[in-house]
Amino acid sequence: MSFDNTLFLPFIDESEIDTNKVTVNELSFQNHIAASLKFLKKLRKLEELTPLQRRQAEALKDAVNGIMAKIIELENK
- Domains of the chain by residue range: 14-75
For residue 3, name the pLDDT band (cuts at 50, 70, 90). very low
Residues 42, 44, 49, 52: what is their CA dihedral angle, to the nearest 10 degrees? 90
Which contiguous run of DSSP H or E holds residue 65? Answer: helix 51-75
Q: What share of the chain is helix, strand, coil (3-state, %, to 5)?
A: 70, 0, 30
Q: What is the pLDDT of residues 9-63, one digit of tens each?
A: 455 455 555 555 555 556 667 777 777 777 777 766 666 677 787 788 788 888 8
Quote the pTM value.
Answer: 0.41
